[in-house]
Amino acid sequence: MQSLVEGAFGRAFRKQVHPVEIAKGLTKQMDENRMISVSRTYAPNDFTVHLSKADAESIQAYQSALRDELIQYVSSHAQSNSYHMMTPPRIQFTTEDSLRFGEFGVTAKLTGGEGPREKGAPEDTSGQTKIFRIEKADGEDQGTAAISADEARKHGLARETISLAIDDGKTYPLEGRGPWSIGRSEENDIVISDPNVSRRHARLSRLESGFVVEDLGSTNGTLLDDAPIDRERIEGGDKLTFGGINTRFLRETGDRVSDRAGQPKHKEGSGGR
């Protein structure tokens, strides 16, 4: 990591978040979010570094080179700890207005990429974010301390969980890449045992821009907030009805639930059935 400490990177971060602290945050998240299988220890391979506006501006000229350095660093860390990554590591930077000068966050995900998933590999994870605060120790050295979960939620960067809640009280977590099939048959990912629900009724899919619900030619149709649809994008709090059975699509961050029920929405999709 010497090249990160010295030269242009070191000067850019002299009074701000330092690249070495970002590297420590990446490997800490890698260690804490690893998953152990029968034969391998899988480590996160998809990282997002959240920076304050001031810190983001300081790396703008060096961002590409810094990303390459950090990728090499996490790759070496994985190799030295016998971690297996399902794809080569990926690191992206994003700016968060809620972060203060000297704070940064790291989101770590396990993703399998576009190809076929290797046998025994875990499902994709939605990602867990930890926020770090640069603190002055005795003298001039800086240390990195993780802030509390409550503080993370204040920044809106706590881990997001996504699920479909059915009126009967059962909730299905939507982990991984999907898609998730919905219907009366036990072969579906989400089973709704009701005669008004078709055997293969609908499907939920995860896209780069969000989530989509699609009716699969069911007998009694699929409703989004009481309106019949073929295929529509959905948001946290949306009410989905399958053959008369009401469900709620939930996106939760810590103690907060994204619930836009009752608010006007402008949807993009194919429209009504």
- How far is Cα 193 from Cα 195, in angstroms, rounded to an integer? 7
Q: Is the pLDDT of residue 61 over 50?
A: yes
How big, in percent rounded to 5, are the helix, strand and coil portions of the chain?
20, 35, 45
Q: What is the dihedral of CA 206, 207, 212, 215, to 10 degrees?
A: -80
For 134-191, how does the pLDDT look when each residue is reduced to its tens digit (9 = 90+)?
A: 655 444 444 455 545 555 455 444 456 789 999 888 999 887 777 899 999 999 999 9
H or E element that contains 160 = strand 160-166
Of the pLDDT bands very low, low, confident and very high (cuts 50, 70, 90), residue 257 is: very low
Q: Is the pLDDT of residue 40 over 90?
A: no
pTM of the model: 0.49
Domains of the chain, by residue range, sit at 19-113+120-135, 160-253
Q: Is the pLDDT of residue 247 over 90?
A: yes
Place of tokens 């968060």: 96
DSSP bridge pairs for 129? 107
Of the pLDDT bands very low, low, confident and very high (cuts 50, 70, 90), residue 207 is: confident
| 29-33, 77-81, 120-124: segment of lowest average pLDDT | 120-124
Mean pLDDT over 23-27 rounds to 91
Beta carbons within 10 angstroms of residue 222's beta carbon: 26
Mean pLDDT over 221-232 rounds to 93
Q: What average pLDDT is seen over the chain?
A: 78
Write down the pLDDT at residue 102. Answer: 82
**Which overall architecture, per CATH, does domain 160-253 show?**
Sandwich (2.60)
The CATH H-level (homologous superfamily) assignment of domain 19-113+120-135 is FhaA, phosphopeptide-binding domain (DUF3662) (3.30.2320.60)
